[in-house]
Amino acid sequence: MCGIVGYIGKKNCVPIIIEGLKRLEYRGYDSAGVGVIAGDDITVVKRKGKVTELQNAVTEQNVTGNVGIGHTRWATHGEPNEINAHPHYNQDRSLIVIHNGIIENYNSLKTGLKNIGYEFRSDTDTEVFAHLIDSFIRRGYDVSKSVRLALNEIDGTYGLAVMYAKEPDKIVVARQGSPLVMGIGDNENFIASDVSALIAYTKQIVYFEDGEIAEVYADHFVTKTIHDKEIEKIATEVNLTVDEIDKGGYDTFMMKEIMEQPDSCTNSMRGRLVFDEGTAKLGGLTDVVEKLLDCKRFLISACGTSWHAGLVGEYLFEHYLRIPTEVEYASEFRYRNPIIYPDDAVFFISQSGETADSLAALREAKRKGALCLGICNVVGSSIARESHAGVYTHAGPEIGVASTKAFTSQLIVLGLITLLLARRKSMSIAEGKEIVHAYQELPHKIAEILKLNKSIEEIAEQFKNANNFLYLGRGAHFPVALEGALKLKEISYIHAEGYPAAEMKHGPIALVDENMPVVFIAPKDSTYEKIVSNIEEIRARKGKVIAIATENDTEIDRLADHVIKIPNSARMTMPILTAIPLQLLAYHIAVKKGLNVDQPRNLAKSVTVE
Ligand code: M6R
């Protein structure tokens, strides 16, 4: 949440910062601000709303400079307005701070600072930083030491950047719990909360770790721990292009990402399928495969869509591996002193690899001695780096706030892990080959489903004014129902619930009348007949039925008001296919309501605060 960008070098930093903030807008978009060193002063411009508002303001005021920092905000403390937007000043306006994270002890710090004469202008926790650092500068310390001393008084999380007009040759940055990277250029350096803001300028990236603080100059940087121990950091080259983070001719990132799924799924499988042996090859698990085979229990921890992927994983692991699996929200896992046995493995699933709850859950599981595995999309992200082993999903950058291609790639990776382990256990080579074949056919089948875009749009037209939706599925399609409901509520603001289809009779059926659309995920599998009975029960109460069914199913035509027919596939791969029409349905309903699907209200792509 919140985006940070900074530049120090010889160029005008303002367009670089504005461009970077636009790339990071998916992290927060309620207000934005920029601060630039201008002679002996710092010029700050802030605006409520999108980065374009800020861009207009800096252009109008002709703000320029060679050193600057900028921020796009997702409000935690204080409503989204110009005063609460970052950067925040110290008292004499010689120092500014931008911050991503939450200062948990800000109230007591604020009281202490007020008692010694500091006046606060905003409602934010971040302003505390500015005054606290100032209080050390007043005691005669330089800005870096003042930041370090201030950080030692902070409880909470931060990715932050500080500029001080009296030491204009540097930007001081620090990280604890919120991502922060530095890009190395030629006599210029960049900082950002996310690599995507920097790749137009450099691919040489330094990832800061928790507890690190750095002085960033135009031609070098110095990193220490916040306990003043010098550390050496090495840059790594990132393999990402600007094209990958553009809309590529689509109206929205979300549509681009939905349509990319034949390719993103291919990328998730690339080099990982071994047809002759009917298995999968996952380099990131090589060192831990034997341990995984000895595990008595798997745990999966994640948030949101990634948690839904985890629930599908539970079905796969238990069905094919016979390993008991528990899936838990990371936000619950981290605080309930989870029971972890020595022969447990814990999987952490996260698109961003930066979700605060998932990262904290990972650290808790590590403290308790668990084998921790990351399933992440963002290469080099915190969860990926801190896990003992793991598998990247390689879906490519996902910018739309509502997760689409990252979800289907998570399902692919969970399936490949299942296949790899099942073949080492009791799965026959024949079954393994069938599954590998099903994976090989997936991109083509996804492309077939995407051709239904127009007809799904027509269905969306009929339901765009609904106030509620139910999504029902059984087995591994129950989590897909949850995911379909989440997609709809995130971007269309229509209330939607997902349930196991049979559970409907235990309560939700009371909601059903002629105004209630019910989406059934009803592929021809072992529970098909049961689903048909559930559809009849909805029809008997005049509910409107939209069914996701397999292409050769004719029975469903007489039962459902609308049928979306998709190709059949193996049990393991079917949830990947059923998820896609639900993404399109949610998308079209939201667009028809005139909503911004890429930046839905109140949400941010990467939830790096609790
Ligand atoms: O980056 P992560 O996968 O850890 O993110 C978890 C959730 O915040 C995320 O899936 C969220 O629910 C999305 N907005 C879903 O579309």
Give the model confidence (pLDDT) of 250-269 as tens digits.
999 999 999 999 999 999 99
**pLDDT above 70 coverage of the chain, percent:** 100
Order of all β-strands in the sheet with 236-237: 41-48, 31-38, 67-73, 3-8, 189-192, 181-184, 204-207, 236-237
Return the DSSP state at 159. Answer: E
Is 90 exceeded by the pLDDT of residue 279?
Answer: yes
How far apart CA 285 and CA 374 sit, in angstroms, is 10
Position 508 scores a pLDDT of 87
Please list, residue by residue across 527-536, b when 16 or more beta carbons sit within 10 angstroms of its beta carbon and e when fewer do: bbeebbebbe
Judged on CB neighbours under 10 Å (0-12, 13-18, 19+), 95 is buried
Tokens of 580: 């896609």
Q: How far is the CA of 401 from the centre of ligand 1 (A)?
A: 8
Q: How far is the CA of 310 from the centre of ligand 1 (A)?
A: 12
How many other β-carbons are positioned within 10 Å of the β-carbon of residue 130? 28
How far apart CA 284 and CA 346 sit, in angstroms, is 15
Is 80 exceeded by the pLDDT of residue 243?
Answer: no
Minimum-distance ligand 1 atom for the alpha carbon of 406 = 3
pLDDT, tens digit, 9 for 90 and up, residues 368-418: 999 999 999 988 889 999 999 999 999 988 999 999 999 999 999 999 999
Nearest CA to ligand 1 atom 11: 304
pTM: 0.82
Helix or strand (DSSP H, E) at 222 = strand 221-225
Mutation to probe ligand 1, out of 27, 403, 490, 583 (largest number of atoms < 8 A from CB): 403
How far apart CA 122 and CA 128 sit, in angstroms, is 10
Q: Mean pLDDT over residues 133-140, rounded?
A: 97
Q: How far is the CA of 52 from the centre of ligand 1 (A)?
A: 26
Tokens of 293: 């085979």
Minimum-distance ligand 1 atom for the alpha carbon of 355 = 4
- Cis bond leading into 87, ω under 30°? yes
Please list, residue by residue across 335-370, b when 16 or more beta carbons sit within 10 angstroms of its beta carbon and e when fewer do: eeebebeeebbbbbbbbbbbbbbbbbbbbbbbebeb
Residues 6+ away with beta carbon under 8 Å from 568: 523, 524, 550, 551, 552, 574
Mutation to probe ligand 1, out of 74, 196, 331, 351 (largest number of atoms < 8 A from CB): 351
Reply yes or no on whether 605 is catalytic: yes
Nearest CA to ligand 1 atom 12: 304
Q: Mean pLDDT over residues 203-226, rounded?
A: 96
pLDDT, tens digit, 9 for 90 and up, residues 59-99: 999 999 999 999 999 887 888 899 999 999 999 999 999 99
Q: How far is CA 475 from the centre of its chain?
A: 26
Q: Mean pLDDT over residues 581-587, rounded?
A: 98
Reply yes or no on whether 544 is catalytic: no
Tokens of 398: 């996902």
What CA–CA distances, in Å, run from 436 to 53, 270, 418, 430? Answer: 50, 12, 12, 10
Is 90 exceeded by the pLDDT of residue 314?
Answer: yes
Order of all β-strands in the sheet with 468-473: 495-500, 468-473, 517-522, 544-550, 562-566
pLDDT, tens digit, 9 for 90 and up, residues 483-528: 999 999 999 999 999 999 989 889 888 898 999 999 999 999 989 9
Position 19 scores a pLDDT of 95
Give residues (CB < 6 A) around ligand 1: 303-306, 350-352, 355, 358, 401-403, 490, 603, 606-607
Residues 6+ away with beta carbon under 8 Å from 448: 566, 567
Nearest CA to ligand 1 atom 4: 350
Mutation to probe ligand 1, out of 74, 257, 306, 605 (largest number of atoms < 8 A from CB): 306
Q: How far is the CA of 352 from the centre of ligand 1 (A)?
A: 8
Mutation to probe ligand 1, out of 303, 362, 375 (largest number of atoms < 8 A from CB): 303
**How much of the chain is helix, strand and coil, in % rounded to 5?**
40, 25, 35
Please report the DSSP string for 417-469 in residue order: HHHHHHHHTT--HHHHHHHHHHHHHHHHHHHHHHTTHHHHHHHHHHHTT-SEE
Per residue, the 3-state secondary structure of 366-379, as one string, reads HHCCCEEEEEECCC
Q: How far is the CA of 453 from the centre of ligand 1 (A)?
A: 24
User: Which among 2, 265, 295, 303 is annotated as catalytic?
Assistant: 2
- Asked whether 587 and 461 are in contact (CB, 8 A), the reply is no
Beta bridge partners of 299: 326, 346
Q: How far is the CA of 483 from the centre of ligand 1 (A)?
A: 11
Position 605 scores a pLDDT of 80
Domains of the chain: 3-244 (3.60.20.10), 247-449 (3.40.50.10490), 452-597 (3.40.50.10490)
Q: Return the beta strands (E) in 239-316 as ranges.
A: 273-274, 279-280, 297-302
Minimum-distance ligand 1 atom for the alpha carbon of 607 = 8
Minimum-distance ligand 1 atom for the alpha carbon of 605 = 14
Residue listed under structure tokens 């399902």: 411
Minimum-distance ligand 1 atom for the alpha carbon of 403 = 16
Residue listed under structure tokens 């235990």: 506
Judged on CB neighbours under 10 Å (0-12, 13-18, 19+), 139 is exposed
Position 147 scores a pLDDT of 98
Position 54 scores a pLDDT of 96
Order of all β-strands in the sheet with 221-225: 88-89, 95-100, 158-164, 171-176, 212-216, 221-225, 230-231
Mean pLDDT for the chain? Answer: 94
Give the CA dihedral 564, 570, 573, 579, nearest 10 degrees: 10
Q: Mean pLDDT over residues 429-434, rounded?
A: 98
Judged on CB neighbours under 10 Å (0-12, 13-18, 19+), 92 is exposed
Position 505 scores a pLDDT of 86
Minimum-distance ligand 1 atom for the alpha carbon of 358 = 4
Q: How far is the CA of 416 from the centre of ligand 1 (A)?
A: 21
Minimum-distance ligand 1 atom for the alpha carbon of 383 = 4
What CA–CA distances, in Å, run from 419 to 329, 349, 568, 587, 606? Answer: 25, 18, 19, 32, 30
How far apart CA 498 and CA 307 sit, in angstroms, is 14
Helix or strand (DSSP H, E) at 231 = strand 230-231
Q: How far is the CA of 306 from the centre of ligand 1 (A)?
A: 6
User: Which among 46, 110, 224, 605 is annotated as catalytic?
Assistant: 605
For 282, the 3-state DSSP assignment is coil
Nearest Cα to 63, choosing from 44, 86, 83, 89? 44
Q: How far is the CA of 514 from the centre of ligand 1 (A)?
A: 33
pLDDT, tens digit, 9 for 90 and up, residues 315-324: 999 999 999 9
Report residue 604's pLDDT band, with 50, 70 and 90 as the boundaries.
confident
